[in-house]
Amino acid sequence: MDRTESQMLIIFGASGDLTARKLIPALFHLYCGGYLPENFLILGVSRSEFSDEEFRRKVIFESSYLEGDLKEKGRETGEKFAQKLYYHDLGASYEASYVALARKIESLDEKHQTGNNFIFYLSTPPNIYEVIAKNLSEQGLTHKDKGWKRLIVEKPFGYDLASAKKLNNSLHQYFHEDQIFRIDHYLGKETVQNLLVTRFANSIFEPLWNRNYIQHIEITNAESVGVEKRGGYYDGAGAMRDMFQNHLLQIVSLVVMEPPISAEAESIRNEKVKALKSLRILKDEKSLSENIIRGQYLAAEIDGKKVKGYREEDGVNPDSTTETFVAIKFFVDNWRWKDVPFYVRTAKRMPTKVTEVVIHFKPPHHKIFTESGMFNKDNKLIIRIQPDEGILIKFGVKVPGQGFKVERANLDFYYDSLIENNLMAAYERLLLDAMQGDATLYARADEVEAAWEFVDPILQYWSTSKDATIYGYSAGVWGPQNADDLIEGENTWRNPGSNLADDPGFCVIK
């Protein structure tokens, strides 16, 4: 709290969905929690015409995203928070009127003593990020001589490796790397951060965290919703760009990375980059076709309700070959992970919303309890990212009675069980970190590029090869059936329920 200096947050794209749905509610929660400094302002910027009052009404009092909060905290709290909000209409284009914007920022800064400390948040279509950065620079708004200046950049960061590099180079003309905060909201999730703590604050997991004890690793990110109102955007992106390149590879990097020398941003980010660079890139046609399954959801009935197929969604091309499901098997080429398969999948219109990491351990070398088949079941560590956040270990116990019959039991931890378990929403945590200048949970330029290096050949293969199949799957099932064939031996995906303790079958380790 003490570290949050007086400052102004300038949001470009203030009339858009993200501002109303995530940013303003996060800022309101930070305000109610006493996390914002006394001298703090939010200046919304876009081309739509609003007065300050109209903007406040739109994003606070008439917003369905704050309705519950306002009921709980009272209108008066909403009114006080609203006094921190201002709006600037950029006019017809994002190229124009930066002189007027600069004047407005300067006068607000002077009047409200925000210390010339500015965060510029880019929540517009990505194709205008550079234009905004350039104009800010030309108006002298990026200089660090008086106060600090930071830039938060929304995803997607680039469309492929070349465009990500281009965007990095463009932004670096106007901002130093230490001023740029590339957002990935999964890094703002408490349970994703806890991957670091589970691994590096305990001496019971890390000694086993390697090829000697781990048989394979499975990561599932499933959403039950379809593309909702974002069909237009999603059709140009697909699951690979929308989720895998950023959120899933961030989780992978935290699972794969070596211990950092400290919890400082650069130490952690250095190790994450090394981890991403050690992923074996699927390059040749054979490995691309054998190790990746992509799919697209088809119309179906779920709980008696008809849901549209992907191609029928608003904004989606009726002949679209954009993937809404992707499952990938890959290896990590380093000392720790040699020969350990990683299976990662992400999809829309699955049976439930769930994200989890499952570490499957190898069975004991020598099997002495032959009475039941239990010794064949693997020990598992399940790290539940969402929902029902927690950690569960599956291990064998003796069934009471004669002989040595073994059954599987659970050791578990639930975030719910903590007395203080107010999990801060991802955007709250990330905004607060940026306000305090902490970039640990933001992606660095080389990190984003390393992730694209893994993803690029896959996208190229899909766009150029005639053999790159896309499979249909009915909305509400766990994706195309042949995604199970990716997994070696008789193992299958875990297909979890929404409760961590649900046990949907098991994996057989031969």
Ligand X SMILES: NC(=O)C1=CN([C@@H]2O[C@H](COP(=O)(O)OP(=O)(O)OC[C@H]3O[C@@H](n4cnc5c(N)ncnc54)[C@H](OP(=O)(O)O)[C@@H]3O)[C@@H](O)[C@H]2O)C=CC1
Ligand Y SMILES: O=C1O[C@H](COP(=O)(O)O)[C@@H](O)[C@H](O)[C@H]1O
Least distance from C-beta 425 to ligand Y, angstroms?
9
Please tell me the distance from the alpha carbon of residue 505 to that of residue 294, in angstroms, as a whole number: 24
State yes or no: is 247 an active-site residue. Answer: yes
Q: Which is nearer to ligand X, 46 or 278 (CB)?
A: 46
Least distance from C-beta 94 to ligand X, angstroms?
5
Burial of 123 (0-12, 13-18, 19+ CB in 10 A): buried
Q: Which does 211 bind (CB under 5 to 8 A by kind): ligand Y, ligand X, none?
A: none
**184-202 exposure pattern, b = at least 16 Cβ within 10 A, e = fewer:** bbbbbbbbbbbbbebbbee
Least distance from C-beta 183 to ligand Y, angstroms?
10
Residue 274: C-alpha distances to residues 253, 344, 449, 455 (Å)? 9, 19, 12, 16
- Using rule CB under 6 A, residue 356 touches ligand Y: no
Q: Was 172 annotated as part of a binding site?
A: no
Calculated CA dihedral for residues 174, 175, 181, 183, nearest 10 degrees: 10
Q: Please list, in sequence order, all residues whose beta carbon lies within 8 angstroms of the beta carbon of residue 365, skipping any fewer than 6 positions away.
A: none
- Using rule CB under 6 A, residue 223 touches ligand Y: yes
Structure tokens belonging to residue 170: 């463009």
Q: Which does 67 bind (CB under 5 to 8 A by kind): ligand X, ligand Y, none?
A: none
Least distance from C-beta 242 to ligand Y, angstroms?
5
The answer to whether 482 touches 471, Cβ cutoff 8 Å, is yes
Q: Which is nearer to ligand X, 116 or 123 (CB)?
A: 123
Residues 224-283 that bind ligand Y (CB under 6 A): 242-243
Q: Which does 94 bind (CB under 5 to 8 A by kind): ligand X, ligand Y, none?
A: ligand X
Q: Was 353 annotated as part of a binding site?
A: yes
Nearest partner of 130 among 175, 100, 86, judged by Cα: 175
Please tell me the distance from the alpha carbon of residue 394 to that of residue 380, in angstroms, as a whole number: 5
Q: Which is nearer to ligand Y, 223 or 313 (CB)?
A: 223
Phi, psi (degrees; rounded to nearest 5) at 161: -60, -45
Structure tokens belonging to residue 66: 């704050």
Over the window 137 to 176, marking each residue x when it contacts ligand Y by CB under 6 A and - when it does not, the resulting string is: ----------------------------------------
**88-107 exposure pattern, b = at least 16 Cβ within 10 A, e = fewer:** bbbeeebeebbeebbebbee
Q: Was 73 annotated as part of a binding site?
A: no
Q: Was 223 annotated as part of a binding site?
A: yes
Q: Was 178 annotated as part of a binding site?
A: no
| Number of residues in the chain | 510
Residue with tokens 């007027």: 100
Q: Which does 480 bind (CB under 5 to 8 A by kind): ligand Y, ligand X, none?
A: none
Q: Which is nearer to ligand X, 13 or 78 (CB)?
A: 13
Q: Which is nearer to ligand Y, 109 or 313 (CB)?
A: 313
Q: Which does 242 bind (CB under 5 to 8 A by kind): ligand X, ligand Y, none?
A: ligand Y
Nearest partner of 12 among 100, 196, 136, judged by Cα: 136
Binding residues vs ligand X (CB under 6 A):
13-18, 21, 46-48, 94, 123-126, 128, 154-156
Q: Was 111 annotated as part of a binding site?
A: no
Binding site for NADP(+): residue ranges? 47, 155
> Which are the catalytic amino acids?
247
Annotated binding site: 47, 155, 185, 189, 223, 242, 348, 353
